[in-house]
């Protein structure tokens, strides 16, 4: 795209700030309102692409616009406009400076973040998820690259392209029918892996994986083999984070392990309950969950054939980049990676709505860093 290109006679593309296999993000000027915005463009796909795959990508892109536009919370990205211009689908979002958690880990030389930062991030994401889940929306792809921290310490959730509205099961079935996996292996819940129905507690599991990584420097199942990662999520208890980092508070370890429970009923019921536990852990010397559920019994040994109990869509799946050690992508990803999560950005969008009544954001962390290139 040319830097002088004008989208819909209104949005003038200035310079690219992110690029992925399926499209680009541009810093642009809204000529009508005289403000700078971010414009996310889906590249036109040629005839050599599978038509069903192309339809899925376009539907996911439209869905991201609809879902994000319905959410008004300071911890969620906000969408200004959406449309199609000369065959290019575009999404116009508020332009804000910040870095996603993947970049923060990279900038920290793959070391875990400071404990106060971890707690602050956990609290703000829990508040944003509480609002999102109250609207009946499950994100389904929560990971470090989709959580952005602004220069003032505000934390925002990005990329709702594969989110699911609670009442829209038929639409979800059409999206998943193509065999494109919903989620990223290192952060997928056991129920996503098993192909069963997911609810808001699946997002909580993914958040547990994110918190584990920023607290220890690696995701709970830090393996290169996709099958081993998926089976780890499904069957293997995670190693307690304090074994990797003894200075972590006990209550924070308990929060993370509760989020990583294999069965949804053993996790916090919703993000509001999670938010309450985090706040309580910051103010009391010991962490005691409100509901103590029995731990699951060990699963029977895996039958012969290591893919016997994994859904068919996992065959041939690759793990994709983890948050830590991610390098700049120079070739387009495999189509199975989907649309969201392929964006490499240093400036993204953010919501400006008021926080939910239960969301009481704390002061910006003292260690908020300067803007750097965001990369997935």
Active site (catalytic) residues = 141
DSSP helix/strand/coil, 145? helix
179: left (phi over 0), alpha (psi -120 to 50) or beta: left
**If we measure between CA atoms, which residue out of 235, 202, 232, 203 comes closest to residue 218?**
232
Helix ranges, the chain (H): 51-69, 101-107, 115-134, 169-176, 190-194, 200-216, 226-235, 250-259, 271-283
11 forms beta bridges with: 7, 30
CB atoms inside a 10 Å sphere around CB 212:
27
Question: What is the 8-class DSSP label of residue 290?
Answer: S
Task: Based on DSSP, count helices (H) and strands (E) in the chain, helices before strands.
Answer: 9, 12
CA distance 238 to 228: 13
CA 22 to mean position of chain CA atoms: 18
Cα–Cα distance for residue pair 159/76, rounded to 1 Å: 9
């Amino acid at each position: 795209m040319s830097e002088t290109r004008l989208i819909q006679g209104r949005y003038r593309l200035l310079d690219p700030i992110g690029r992925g296999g399926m499209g680009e993000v541009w810093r642009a000027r809204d000529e009508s309102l005289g403000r700078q915005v971010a414009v996310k463009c889906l590249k036109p796909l040629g005839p050599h692409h599978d038509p069903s795959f192309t339809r899925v990508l376009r539907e996911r892109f439209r869905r991201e616009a609809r879902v994000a536009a319905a959410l008004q919370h300071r911890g969620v990205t906000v969408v200004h406009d959406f449309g199609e211009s000369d065959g290019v689908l575009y999404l116009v979002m508020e332009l804000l400076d910040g870095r996603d958690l993947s970049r923060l880990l990279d900038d920290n030389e793959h070391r875990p973040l400071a404990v106060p930062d971890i707690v602050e991030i956990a609290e703000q994401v829990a508040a944003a998820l509480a609002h999102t889940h109250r609207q009946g929306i499950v994100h389904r792809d929560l990971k470090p690259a989709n959580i952005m921290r602004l220069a003032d310490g505000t934390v925002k959730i990005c990329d709702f392209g594969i989110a699911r509205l609670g009442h829209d099961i038929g639409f979800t079935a059409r999206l998943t029918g193509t065999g494109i996996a919903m989620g990223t292996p290192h952060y997928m819940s056991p129920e996503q892996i098993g192909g069963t129905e997911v609810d808001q507690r699946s997002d909580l599991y993914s958040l547990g994986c994110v918190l584990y990584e920023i607290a220890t420097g690696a995701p709970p199942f830090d393996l290169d083999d996709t099958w081993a990662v998926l089976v780890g999520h499904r069957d293997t208890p995670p190693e307690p984070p304090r074994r990797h980092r003894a200075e972590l508070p006990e209550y924070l370890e308990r929060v993370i392990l509760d989020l990583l429970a294999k069965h949804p009923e053993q996790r916090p019921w919703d993000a509001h309950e999670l938010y309450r536990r985090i706040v309580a852990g910051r103010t009391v010397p010991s962490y005691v969950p409100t509901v103590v559920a029995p731990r699951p019994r060990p699963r029977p040994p895996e039958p012969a054939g290591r893919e016997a109990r994994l859904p068919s869509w996992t065959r041939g799946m690759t793990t994709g980049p983890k948050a830590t050690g991610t390098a700049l992508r120079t070739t387009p990803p495999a189509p199975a990676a989907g649309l969201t999560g392929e964006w490499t950005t240093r400036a993204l969008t953010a919501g400006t709505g008021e926080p939910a009544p239960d969301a009481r954001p704390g002061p910006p962390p003292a260690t908020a860093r300067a803007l750097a290139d965001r990369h997935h």
